[in-house]
A and B are shown apart, each in its own frame.
Chain A
């Protein structure tokens, strides 16, 4: 058995460990073990590769490794849970650029001599370039270093189309004579530009989809790089990550009842048909004191949180309220909409951080059938995800989007700063329902007042 087959043998073990890592993420009890197994797989792959005869000097590996490991540790330990989406976007970006550099050095050392490798290089630098700058823009938007609104400028669509066309046309000279360096650099450069052009017109609220799509791209780059450097491990892992991104993009789109196409290119098709919202009636405000009296006698309470909860930093106060309600004999659950938060599953992490047990975090599909028997539903920092117009108002822009059906609870409390509308800019008719009571104020303030009432009452 030669040395290369020995390394490939170790790679198989790595693949098995990666697969089990993902399998164990199927349940919160085994998830941590899965993450460790996966990390072991990575360590094995790295150690096996280091024995490769192609590696002559270790000094640069050491330098790169130390820089990467220290920055990675620093960022991973410092990032707050609300910053998770931007951290993930950053990781996507650098992962993709790492692959692009691997392709580049392969191209630099050895002019590709067959169509498959040329195709793989072309796709790698295209997808990798787009993923790198696209992720950086997503990171900027998520961390509010860039405005979250869709950025549009005159002629943008034309420039994007021309860029795509140019990258497409450059394929011809690249395939005819791959050794022409400037062509390679132009494809890479234009792909970097394209990444920016693709993500800047997408609004902050759609970032969960963008992150998922970039996730699948970062997998695809690893995959195509595997074809460039003839490495099985990259292909397997790239496919796993690519599948992950595709599944999550699909789930996010379904949760918003929009097509991927609409999310990614929606800013260009005029969205002016915003219905003014026909919601009418009277809003019924209630004080935290009166709300407490209703909550005190509630047997079952569902809390429907939105990203506004995290913005107000109210997670811990909400968890405290939840515990007091439980002590008071109520059954407390949290209803989690798939797009609550800035990335898939984000709200669960935010509540888990505040020590809410995961058994209380219930998915939308599972909570909705129980909603009729709920005494009080508390909406905190959520808006569009609880708007009943999505169910019956065919003129509403969010019609067809699945929602948490809080309106079916006996009483609904909506904690809200003012009557301003949500991301989609639509009036929420839930606020005017007979069983809805509005508690105006900052989410954290209001919840703390409720907590204080409970403590005074006992």
Chain B
């Protein structure tokens, strides 16, 4: 098994810079979209799937517990990812500008 450990200090660098990036990006999201923002954040926090895949796919080499934990983690992380993105998409589809609401209404009236 290839082991390539990234030194702690680099991980810390990445963490600090990512926190700044997060604050910069998220403070620009208008309150209008805070609910979809939260569900999208939910979806991306399913990123733990990356670790889950490795645990679930490790074969039977280690132990049944690893396989169980990994499989359950994959299921929950995928639940998070799929559920999060889908529900965000559903919500965002509802946000229409005045122009598009009116054009949709006239289209409906014509048909």
Interface residues, chain A, with chain B CB atoms under 8 Å away: 2-4, 18-19, 21-23, 25-29, 31-32, 34-36, 38-39, 41-42, 45-46, 49-50, 52-58, 60-61, 63-65, 67-69, 71-73, 75-77, 79, 81, 84, 87-88, 91-92, 94-95, 97-99, 101-102, 104-106, 108-109, 116, 211-212, 215, 218-219, 221-223, 225-227, 229-245, 247-248, 251, 336, 338, 343-346, 348-349, 352-353, 355, 357-361, 363
B31 near A336 with CB under 8 A, answer: yes
A72 near B80 with CB under 8 A, answer: yes
Of B46, B84, B91, most buried by chain A (CB within 10 Å of CB) is B46
The residue of chain A having its C-beta at the shortest distance from the C-beta of B49 within the complex is: A46
Q: A68-B82, A99-B51, A232-B6 are in contact. List 5 more A-B contacts (CB 8 A).
A: A49-B54, A64-B74, A84-B39, A108-B65, A239-B19
Chain A residues with CB under 8 Å of B50's CB are: 45-46, 49, 231, 233-234
Chain A residues with CB under 8 Å of B78's CB are: 64-65, 67-69, 72
Q: Does B32 touch A at the CB level, under 8 Å? A: yes
Given contacts A39-B85, A105-B65, contact A65 B75 (CB under 8 A): yes
A108 → chain B closest CB, angstroms: 6
Q: Majority SS of interface residues in chain B?
A: helix
B75 → chain A closest CB, angstroms: 4
Given contacts A35-B36, A91-B42, A345-B36, contact A360 B73 (CB under 8 A): no
B95 near A240 with CB under 8 A, answer: no
A81 near B91 with CB under 8 A, answer: yes
Chain A residues with CB under 8 Å of B88's CB are: 35
B11 near A18 with CB under 8 A, answer: no
A285 → chain B closest CB, angstroms: 34
Chain B residues with CB under 8 Å of A25's CB are: 29, 33, 36-37, 40
Of A68, A69, A212, most buried by chain B (CB within 10 Å of CB) is A68
Chain B residues with CB under 8 Å of A212's CB are: 38
Per-residue A-contact encoding for B58-72, CB less than 8 Å = 1, 0 else:
111111011101111
CA distance A36 to B85 in the complex (A): 8
